[in-house]
Amino acid sequence: MKRRKLEGGGDTRNNGENGNHVEESWEAIKDAVLNPCSHKSWRKTLLNYLRGQKDDTTARGQISKGVDFQFLTHIMASYTASTSEEDRTIYETLELLENTYKVNMNIISPIIWGEQSIEIYKKRGQFGGTLIRTTPEQVLELLDGLRMWKTVLNHSRQIAADADGETHDSKALYDVRFLLRLFLSMMHPGSEVSLS
């Protein structure tokens, strides 16, 4: 049996013969995401767990089954779409979930993020995505114009980072990878966007 110490978390046991340890570890991490007050470093813990389990078919199955609308919306509510280390961790986590664990991200499309997403996702969860559909215009209204302008001007410029990997502009700029993904999630053949 292999043991791995998760950053910011307890031991996780990975036993290919017995999926119970994998399931227990996944449930603890899922609980940390759903109750972020109880576990401050859940972002890194989740990312490290996903990286560590990506080659384990039992774990991949557990994770794929365990990631649902509520789980994804909790992650998106804590995401600010910035270039900060926390947001880069969340973005990488979402990429791993989609590409490695084959989680269908369409259940949260169009993508909403940050504090304002809580109420929107709550209504979507209650009434369903067909009745409560966020329009592209509503999504675009969530973007801050000044922050977008700063991102356009500075997204490709190298900025010195401090010892923690943070830059003084890390929260002032949008993550361009996220923006491209956001725009893609809003556009599809036949979609209409108001230019006013």
DSSP assignment of the chain equals -EEEEPTTS-EEEE-TT-THHHHHHHHHHHHHHHSGGG-TTHHHHHHHHHHHHTT-HHHHHHHHHH--HHHHHHHHHT---BSSHHHHHHHHHHHHHHHTS---GGGGPSP--STTHHHHHHHHHHH-TTTS---HHHHHHTS-HHHHHHHHHHTTS-----TTS--TTTTTSB-HHHHHHHHHHH--TT------
Least confident of 127-131, 148-152, 167-171: 167-171
Least confident of 23-32, 62-71, 162-171: 162-171
Least confident of 68-77, 94-103, 136-145, 160-169: 160-169
Q: For position 125, what pLDDT does the model report?
A: 86
pLDDT mean across residues, the chain: 82
Q: Structure tokens of 135? A: 């329009």
Q: For position 163, what pLDDT does the model report?
A: 60
The mean per-residue pLDDT over the stretch 131-154 comes to 90
Q: How far apart are CA 57 and CA 167, in angstroms?
A: 38
The mean per-residue pLDDT over the stretch 19-33 comes to 80
Q: Is the pLDDT confidence value at 20 over 70?
A: no
Q: For position 166, what pLDDT does the model report?
A: 56
Give the tens place of pLDDT for each residue, 34-80.
987 766 789 999 999 999 999 999 989 999 999 999 999 999 999 99
Q: Is the pLDDT confidence value at 3 over 50?
A: no
- The pTM for the full model equals 0.80
Q: How far apart are CA 5 and CA 11, in angstroms?
A: 5
Give the tens place of pLDDT for each residue, 181-190.
998 888 777 7
CA dihedral (125, 100, 58, 24) in degrees, to 10, reads -50
